[in-house]
Structure 1
Amino acid sequence: MKNYIILLLLAFSLTSFAQEVKKDGKTYEVKKEKIFLNGEDVTEALNIEEKEAILKEASAITAKLKTAEKAEKEAKKLEKEAKKAEKAQKKAEKAQKKAEKELKKKEKLQKNFEKAQSNLKKNQKKYEKLKKKGKLSPEDERKWLEKLEKMTEKLEKAKRKM
């Protein structure tokens, strides 16, 4: 990121000030349509062919810089889009994990409900069987009824949680 900023500033400074063009071992500076050599305006001193060649090279350099700027902007845009897509993917994964967790919770509650229901039915049958045979003392019958009542409460509690 730091490098992008430096490159961007460098590109702006080069385009906004002057273009340096090397021609015949001399370094000319082109500002708008004027050509400078060592800080002196030599636009009128050069012949038309040299002037055109220098201006053409300066415009080519400017075009390259603009192309580089566009490529850099496009790269930044793509990077932003990639980050956005990554963020969206993470959000979707998080939502999926949450949904899976919720599903597991519901399945566990359902399992607990079914288990409580099964235990209650089984113990009710056992109680009825013992009662029919007459093998229950009044104390045992009281214990069985308390046990069945607790199981019924567990079943109701499991049902409410669902």
Structure 2
Amino acid sequence: MKYIILIFITIFSLSLNAQDIKKNDNLNQVKKEITTEKLEKEKKKAEKAQKKAEKKQKKAEKALKNQLKAQKRLDKASKKLESAQKKYDKLKRKGKLSPQDEVKWLKRIEGYREDIEKAKKKI
């Protein structure tokens, strides 16, 4: 009878140890899953931050491009004004401007000045 009880207790204790191993395996699997989830979350955060940085960079590049475009417009308007002013002065000195032509030239020059003011505001 003692041997039967001893065998029963031994089998029972072995079965408990076997279950502990399974519990540990399950715990290890759960820990691995949790670690994996954390890594995925960190990866998503990193991707989101990268996209945000790229978007910010594109915005800065676009602003720079607009700035350069406005500067070109200003330069072009300045050249046109200077050219028109020289031509007007030359024609006026030579006496080749009629009163109507003089009004047209003055309007043209004023238009160039307005273009310059608009370009300056955009810069």
Q: Which residue of 1 aligns with 2:8?
A: 47
- CA shift, 1:108, in A, is 0.9
Work out the CA distance in 2 between the residues paired with 1:151 and 1:56. Answer: 94
Q: Report percent identity of matched pairs.
A: 50
Q: Going by fraction, where is strand more abundant, 1 or 2?
A: 1
How far residue 48 of structure 1 moved from its aligned partner, in angstroms, is 3.6
TM-score under structure 1 length normalisation = 0.69
Query: What CA distance in whole angstroms lies between the structure 1 residues aligned with 2:122 and 2:47?
Result: 37
Unaligned runs of 5+ in 1: 1-43
Q: Normalising by structure 2, what TM-score? A: 0.89
Q: What's 2:73 paired with?
A: 112
* SS of equivalent to 1:136: coil
Q: Is 1:63 aligned to residue 24 of structure 2?
A: yes
Work out whether 1:74 is the aligned partner of 2:60: no
Aligned match of 2:50 = 89
Gaps of 5+ in 2: none
> Number of residue pairs matched?
119
Give the whole-Å Cα distance in 2 for the aligned partners of 1:113 and 1:45.
102
Matched with 1:143 is 104
Aligned match of 1:33: none
1:101 is aligned, of 55, 62, 67, to 62
The higher-RCO structure (CA 8 Å, 6+ apart) is 2
1:123 is matched by which residue type in structure 2? A
CA RMSD of aligned residues (A): 1.5
What CA distance in whole angstroms lies between the structure 2 residues aligned with 1:133 and 1:160? Answer: 36
After TM superposition, give the deviation of residue 47 of structure 1 in Å: 3.2
Match of 1:124 in 2: 85
Structure 1: which 4+ aligned runs deviate by more than 6 Å?
none
> Which structure is higher in helix share?
2
1:133 corresponds, among 94, 97, 102, to 94
